C-alpha cells in the first residue's frame, strides 16, 4: 500500500520496506489526517509485512500512526512484537521514537516488549535533548498507567529538564486571547509550567476555578482534527495534573477576533462549557 502525501488515496502494493517507510513518514508530516478507511488499510498491510521491517522502519511506522492520531491496535501489536525481537539493534533515536509513539497512542505494551524497552533505554546513550524529552513523555505515560519505571532518578530528572529546556514562544494569537481575558477582568497567568513539565498557554481563574486555556494554531491539527502530540498533552495534563482544559482552535478565533464583544462572549462560553463538562 502506498499513500500520497495528501493521504487521500491508496495505490498499489508495498514494493519494498523502504517504500512502506516513506509512505508512513508521509502520513506523519502531511497537512491533513488520512481518512480512517485509508489508515485502516495501510495499518492492515503494514502489520501483515511487519517482520520485514528493520528498526528504523518500525520506529517510523509507529511514529507516523501516533502523530496522525490513528492508534491502530492491530498495527501497534505487530510493531511491539517485531520490535521485541530486534530491540538490541535499535539506535537511541529509534528507541525514543518507538517509546514516544506507544505513549502517544496510549497502547498497552506487552510485558515482554516493555521489559526489552526498559533494558534498552537504561543502557543506551542519549545525546540530544529531543530524545530525552520524548522519554519524559513516555515515563509520564507509565505514570498514567501506574506502571513502575525502573530507571534511575537522575536519568528521569535529565529527561524532564530536557523536556522543559525550550523556552515557550507565545504566538500573536495567544497574546490576543490573553489580552481578551484580561479585558474581562479575570486573573490571568501566561505560560504556566506544571509539575509534569508542560507549559499551559494561559491559566485563568474563572468562577473560583483555575482553567487552562490552550491556544491551538495550525501546527496542532491535521485539518481540523487534533494531532497525536496535541492529544497526548491534553490527556496527560488532565489525567496527571487534574487540569480543566479548553482549546481555542485558530479557525474559531479567526471568526471572532475582529469584534471585541464577540471574542469576549466566545471565551466566556468556552470557559463555562469547560467547567460544566
Q: What is the pLDDT of residues 74-126, one digit of tens each?
A: 999 999 999 988 888 998 889 899 999 999 999 988 777 777 778 888 788 87
pLDDT in tens, 206-230: 999 999 999 999 999 998 999 999 9
Span 160-207, pLDDT tens digits: 999 999 888 999 999 999 999 999 999 999 999 999 999 999 999 999
Calculate the CA 115 to chain-centre distance.
23
Reply yes or no on whether the pLDDT at 12 is more than 50: no
Question: Grid coordinates representing 13?
Answer: 502494493
Give dist(CA 239, CA 243) in Å, integer.
8
- pLDDT of 108 reads 85
Host H or E run for residue 221: strand 221-222
- Residue 262 to residue 256: CA distance in whole angstroms: 6
Hey, what CATH topology would domain 172-276 get? Endonuclease; Chain A (3.40.960)
CA distance 202 to 213: 5
**pLDDT score recorded for residue 36:** 64
Integer Cα distance of 6 and 212 in angstroms: 33
Q: How far apart are CA 79 and CA 62, in angstroms?
A: 7
For the chain, the average pLDDT equals: 86
Looking at residue 220, its pLDDT comes to 95
pLDDT beyond 90 at 277: no
Please state the domain extents for the chain. 17-164, 172-276
Would you give the DSSP letter of residue 1?
Answer: -
What is the rounded CA–CA span in Å between residue 109 and residue 218?
A: 31
Does 268 have pLDDT greater than 90? yes
Question: Is pLDDT of 16 > 70?
Answer: no
Q: Are 32 and 64 in contact (CB under 8 A)?
A: no
Amino acid at each position: 500500500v502506498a499513500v500520497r502525501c495528501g493521504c487521500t488515496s491508496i495505490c498499489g502494493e508495498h514494493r519494498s520496506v523502504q517504500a512502506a517507510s516513506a509512505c508512513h513518514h508521509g502520513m506523519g508530516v502531511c497537512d491533513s489526517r488520512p481518512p480512517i478507511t485509508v489508515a485502516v488499510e495501510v495499518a492492515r498491510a503494514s502489520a501483515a509485512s511487519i517482520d520485514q521491517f528493520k528498526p528504523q522502519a518500525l520506529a517510523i511506522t509507529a511514529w507516523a500512526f501516533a502523530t496522525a492520531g490513528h492508534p491502530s491496535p492491530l498495527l501497534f501489536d505487530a510493531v511491539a512484537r517485531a520490535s521485541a525481537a530486534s530491540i538490541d539493534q535499535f539506535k537511541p533515536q529509534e528507541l525514543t521514537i518507538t517509546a514516544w509513539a506507544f505513549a502517544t497512542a496510549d497502547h498497552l505494551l506487552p510485558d515482554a516488549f516493555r521489559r526489552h524497552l526498559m533494558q534498552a533505554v537504561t543502557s543506551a546513550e542519549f545525546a540530544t535533548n529531543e530524545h530525552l524529552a520524548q522519554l519524559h513523555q513516555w515515563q509520564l505515560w507509565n505514570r498514567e498507567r501506574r506502571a513502575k519505571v525502573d530507571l534511575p532518578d537522575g536519568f528521569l530528572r535529565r529527561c524532564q529538564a530536557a523536556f522543559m529546556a525550550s523556552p515557550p514562544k507565545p504566538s500573536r494569537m495567544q497574546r490576543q486571547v490573553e489580552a481578551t481575558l484580561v479585558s474581562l477582568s479575570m486573573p490571568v497567568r501566561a505560560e504556566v509550567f506544571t509539575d509534569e513539565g508542560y507549559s499551559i498557554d494561559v491559566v485563568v481563574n474563572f468562577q473560583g476555578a483555575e482553567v487552562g486555556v490552550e491556544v491551538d494554531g495550525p501546527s496542532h491539527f491535521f485539518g481540523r482534527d487534533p494531532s497525536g502530540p496535541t492529544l497526548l498533552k491534553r490527556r496527560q495534563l488532565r489525567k496527571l495534573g487534574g487540569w480543566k482544559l479548553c482549546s481555542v482552535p485558530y479557525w474559531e478565533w479567526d471568526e471572532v477576533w475582529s469584534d471585541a464583544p464577540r471574542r469576549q462572549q466566545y471565551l466566556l462560553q468556552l470557559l463555562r462549557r469547560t467547567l460544566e463538562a
